[in-house]
Amino acid sequence: MLTLHNLAFERNQYKVFNPVNANLKKGEVLQIRGDNGSGKSTLLRLLTGLLEPHHGAILWENQSIAGQKDYYQQQLQYIGHQNGIKSYLTVFENLTLQSVLAAKPTTPAAIHLILEKINLKHAMHTQAFYLSAGQLRRLSLAKLLLYSTPLWILDEPTTALDWEGQQFLMTLLTDHLSQGGMAVVATHQSLPLTGNTLQVERTHD
Amino acid sequence: MISALFSMMHHEIQLTRRQAFAWLTPLLFFVMVVCLFPLTVGPDDALLHKMAPGIIWVAALLAIIISLSNLFRQDAEEGYLDLLLLSPYPLTLLVLCKITSHWILYCFPLIFITPLLGLSLHLPAHEIGILMLTLLLGTPVLILLGAIGAALLVGIRGHGLLLPVLIMPLYIPVLIFGTNAAVAASLHQSINSQFAILGALLLLNLGFAPLFTGIALRMGVNQ
Amino acid sequence: MLFWFNQKFLSPKAFYATSVLLLPWLVGAFTVCFSYGLIAGLFIAPADYQQGDGFRIMYVHVPSALTAMMIYFVMAFSGILTLVFRLKIAAICMTCSARIGAWFTFLALVTGSIWGKPMWGTWWIWDARLTSVLILFFLYLGFIALQSVIVNPETRDRAGALIAIVGVINLPIIHYSVIWWNTLHQGPSITRFAAPAIAPEMLYPLLAMIAAFFLFYGVILILRMQNQILLREIKKT
């Protein structure tokens, strides 16, 4: 259960967005909508604990994440604007490295399976900078299949994805939610999933 | 956990080796800077012999500073830094991994080519050996301290020469003791105290620098 | 409780109010020390038997160098407060101190150079103290340069604090390694400045000048901090 309580963040002493309140339960998606530059990415980064809010609080299981940051960060997976893929490593190596970093050991067989699912098995030993933007985005989403966590925080995951990719993402999300997971997704388009929508507005001074 | 850290280092090394020319550029820079000195101060044997430890150390220092600008740059651009920060492993250890791989990749070539450069500067063999040892102990300190600077400047575009300006004062102790060990060797004096201090500096920085680098990285993510 | 303490004494507003009251006293104390130090040092103290009247620049050089070093420690301490307790006032103190400290270091270098000309016949010499002060100058400039490239004020304060702390940890190491280096390369003609037994007529003005410089730093620091506090208030609204 994730709760946002009067959350606000300042940059250069300007409020980036108006204070927000929201609630997220198991099996739900919190969709973050807003214009470009309205502070969606900042809000998502606040939710990952990488940024600290200036006002308000983020509660996980009714406890502030500030006091349990390490534990909380193990409960989530974050895919930001950037892909988190190292260009000079191969697709296979990237996934191996991600599993190593997350301390969730995996087997080559499991990685093969994941690559099949995202339709990148043929590019397994290609260095990432040879991939197209859409392929890179799919690869960044592959992390979600490596290991499971209750909370997903996705910043505009549909960027650069073609229709097939978007279908894949929807399947991912639906499966995740049906297994009791929850997700916060910043998106331009409305996703047909249960949950609330949070409109983030940039403050005008 | 140890295997995870080794795995990470292995990936870092793979990564850099594949950018072959980018990886070896600091080495080339090192060699070129050293070659500038005979051209400027003249090819006199005795003079070059006397200046050699200083020349090699300064050139190595400059080459390392240049290589440090890239320590976290690609990671920040690719969004990989977030993965490091969100990892369950302590950031200090992950940073230490990166620093170690960076040292292996960039300083080993430097140290290996030193004999060639030492010979060109008319250094006798045993002094070259001492010089290499000082580099072995001193270059990790340079990278450890430089990593703090690189982390502070991560995400700031076009900072140019700010990194060298920031950390060069901090390099002075290593420079003094490193070069002096070689000079003392040439005068057949004891080199124990210099190496003791170099060792102490290495231990001190091994303890503090990765911690500060981690703190700086967490700050930098706010940009 | 801590929050109340912070608001009452350490918030920018509270500091501003306190500083307005404090300033006249500091200026007064400075005037007293400076007048005594200057008059006694320049006119009353006897000429040094070795250096003649030229030594009197010591009354500016030594206080500048000491103040410059003291300011760095103040800066680093403020840095620790900024990083650990996130005190805004500490960040303001640190940033203002850096510029003041850089000026004092510059003054120390220039007066040291001027002192050197009649002493050693050259405008510069690589002795332990001057070299240490030069490196301190570089540390100050590096700090100011770092703060100037960071746009985000919060990050700017914290990054500056970190480099100040790293600098202060390294400062003793740098200082002693420079002293060590200097003992190896000491030429035969270098004499030590610190006279083993300094006459009271020379010492008291020196102490007064040191106190005066410290107080001057306090005055200028408060004035600059007041400006910074006002600037930050303007930016907020």
The mean pLDDT of chain A is 86
Higher pLDDT, B92 or A196: B92
Q: Which residue of B has its CA nearest to A88?
A: B15
At how many degrees (to 10) do helices B162-186 and B45-68 cross? 150
Residue A197 is predicted with a pLDDT of 79
Q: Is the pLDDT of residue C188 over 50?
A: no
Q: How do the pLDDT tens digits run along chain B, 223 residues long? A: 788 888 888 888 888 878 878 888 999 999 999 999 999 998 888 999 999 999 999 999 999 999 998 889 888 888 899 999 999 999 999 999 999 999 999 999 999 999 999 999 999 999 999 999 999 999 999 999 999 999 999 878 777 789 999 999 999 999 999 999 998 988 888 889 999 999 999 999 999 999 999 999 998 876 5
Q: What CA dihedral angle connects C14, C20, C22 and C27, to 10 degrees?
A: 150
Nearest chain A alpha carbon to B85 = A50
Band of residue A159 on the pLDDT scale cut at 50, 70, 90: confident
Count: domains in chain B: 1
Q: Is the per-residue pLDDT at A31 higher than 60?
A: yes
Nearest chain C Cα distance for residue A12, angstroms: 6
Q: Which residues contact B144 (CB under 8 A, 6 or more apart)?
A: B99, B205, B206, B209, B210
**In this model, does residue A67 exceed pLDDT 50?**
yes
Measured between CA atoms, the residue of chain C closest to residue A15 is: C236
Residue A187 per-residue DSSP state: -
Radius of gyration over alpha carbons of chain C, in Å? 20
Q: Which two tokens stand for residue C87?
A: 């005190």
Bridge partners (DSSP) of residue A153 are A78, A184
CB-CB under 8 Å, B83 with A100: no
CA pair distance C189, C116, nearest whole angstrom: 13
CB of C234 within 8 Å of any CB in chain A? no
Task: Enumerate the domain spans of chain C.
Answer: 20-236
Supply the pLDDT for residue C209: 92
- Angle between helix axes B2-18 and A91-101 (nearest 10 degrees) is 150
Nearest chain C residue to A54 by CA: give it: C154
Q: Who contacts C230 (Cβ-Cβ below 8 Å, separation ≥6)?
A: none
Say what the pTM is.
0.90
Q: Stretch A5-17: mean pLDDT, rounded?
A: 77
Angle at B214 between CA B213 and CA B220, to 5 degrees: 85
Closest partner residue to B85 (CB to CB) among A50, A81, A83 is: A50
The SS3 call for residue A119 is coil
Within 8 A of A157 by CB-CB distance, chain B residues are: none
Length of chain C: 237
CA–CA dist A26, A179 (Å, integer)? 9
Would you call A93 and B11 a contact, using CB atoms and an 8 Å cutoff? yes
Q: Which residues of B touch C159 (CB under 8 A)?
A: 152, 216, 219-220
Give the position of tokens 């859409």: A134
CA distance B10 to chain A (A): 10
pLDDT of residue A204: 57
> Could you tell me how many residues make up chain A?
205
Give the model confidence (pLDDT) of C200-229 as tens digits.
Answer: 777 888 899 999 999 999 999 999 999 999
Mean pLDDT of chain C: 87
**CATH class as words, domain C20-236:** mainly alpha
Residue B58, CA distances (Å) to B181, C94, C134 in order = 15, 32, 19
Q: What percent of chain A is predicted at pLDDT more than 70?
A: 97
A85-114, pLDDT tens digit by residue? Answer: 998 889 999 999 999 998 888 899 999 999
- Return the residue matching tokens 């009354």: C59
Q: Which chains touch B (3 or more CB pairs under 8 A)?
A: A, C
Neighbours of chain C (3+ CB pairs under 8 A): A, B
Domain membership of residue B132 as a residue range: 2-221
- In which band, very low, low, confident or very high, does the pLDDT at C122 lie, cut at 50, 70 and 90? confident
pLDDT tier for residue A66 given thresholds of 50, 70 and 90: confident
Instruction: Please tell me which residue of chain A has the smallest CA distance to B73.
Output: A86
A11: nearest CA partner in chain C:
C152
Residues 4-43 of A with CB under 8 A from C: 11-13
Q: What radius of gyration, in Å, describes the C-alpha atoms of chain B? A: 18
The answer, yes or no, to whether residue C189 has pLDDT greater than 60, is: no
Q: What is the mean pLDDT of residues A130-142?
A: 90
CA distances from C150 to A93, A121, B73 (A): 35, 43, 16
What share of chain C has pLDDT > 70, as a percent?
89
| pLDDT higher than threshold 50 for residue C191 | no
Mapped onto helix, strand or coil, the DSSP state of residue A87 is: coil
Residue type for position A53: P
Other Cβ atoms within 10 Å of C49 Cβ, number:
8
Strands A76-79 and A151-155: parallel
Average pLDDT of span C5-31 = 86
Q: What is the pLDDT of residue C7?
A: 67
Q: How far apart are CA B86 and CA B61, in angstroms?
A: 33
CA distance A107 to A99: 10
Beta strands A197-199 and A29-33, pairing class: parallel
Residue B66: which residues within 8 A CB-CB, separation 6 or more?
A: B25, B26, B29
Backbone angles phi, psi at C188, to 5 degrees: -70, -20
3-state SS assignment for residue A59: strand
Residue C138 scores a pLDDT above 90: yes
Q: Which chains neighbour A (Cβ–Cβ under 8 Å, 3 or more pairs)?
A: B, C
User: How would you class C202 by CB atoms within 10 Å of its CB: exposed for 0-12, middle for 13-18, buried for 19 or more?
Assistant: buried
User: Chain C, 135-174: which have a CB under 8 Å from a chain A CB?
Assistant: 151-153
Mean pLDDT of A180-193: 85
Residue A127, strand partner residues: A90
pLDDT at residue B223 in the model: 56
Q: Report pLDDT digits (tens) over C78-110.
A: 999 999 988 889 999 999 999 999 999 999 999
Nearest to C160 by CA among B206, A53, B153, B99: B153
Residue C44 reports pLDDT greater than 70: yes
Chain A residues with CB inside 8 Å of B94's CB? 101
Q: How confident is the model at residue C197 (pLDDT cuts 50, 70, 90)?
A: low
Q: Is C150 on the interface with B (CB under 8 A)?
A: yes
Question: Of chain C residues 75-104, which have a CB less than 8 A from chain B?
Answer: 83
